[in-house]
Amino acid sequence: MISTRGDKLFVVVGLGNPGKDYISTRHNVGFDTIDLLSHRNHIKINKIKFKSVYGEGYIGGEKVILLKPQTYMNNSGRAVLDLYRFYKLPIQNIIVVVDDIDIEFGTIRIRKKGSAGSHNGLKSIIYNLNRDDFPRVKIGIGKKREEQDLADFVLSRFLKDERVIIDETIEEAALAVETIINYGIDRGMNEFN
């Protein structure tokens, strides 16, 4: 367990749903980004605590926890709150990676704070922390068809040609997270928004 308390620890929370039924769905691009960060930075996701699976290591010179809540999307905030209380982190050091239906497909947007919009995972985090001033990296997953149910859409898998684009977007999101950790959110926003 990383013993650091205070502002020298970053936590990257990827939002998604646990279980094989949800692998590679639109709603799980946060988990996919954590998996890529884990691979790129040699951080094993092999610990269980905070209602999550997680791994500890370094990105650049900074201590990092990569976290995948196992609470299902709608209760993601419970996992984040447990970790936030345990480490007493500055809120700016908790970076949430999340899918977004309101930005263009295959793009990312970095925000320092803001509302949850229609996203239940973000709603849960904001509700549990009682604040919305944590950074987030949003990944555009496309728009549902007019007659389509939102839950059905976000739990669907990408079409083959979409998957190619989304994998590139997840790489960009991982790079954005690494940039935020090593150089600050302003640089991340300048380079990726």
CA–CA separation, 68 and 29 (whole Å): 11
Set 27, 39, 42, 119: catalytic member = 27
Strand, helix or coil at 20?
A: helix
- The strand order across the sheet containing 9-14 reads 47-49, 52-59, 62-69, 9-14, 94-100, 136-140, 108-111
Which of 70, 148, 139 lies closest to 105, judged by CA?
139
DSSP characters over 118-176: T-HHHHHHHHHHT---S-EEEEE-----TTS-HHHHHTSBPPHHHHHHHHHHHHHHHHH
Which of 135, 155, 52 lies closest to 92, judged by CA?
135
> Does 119 participate in catalysis according to the annotation?
no
* Residues known to be catalytic: 27
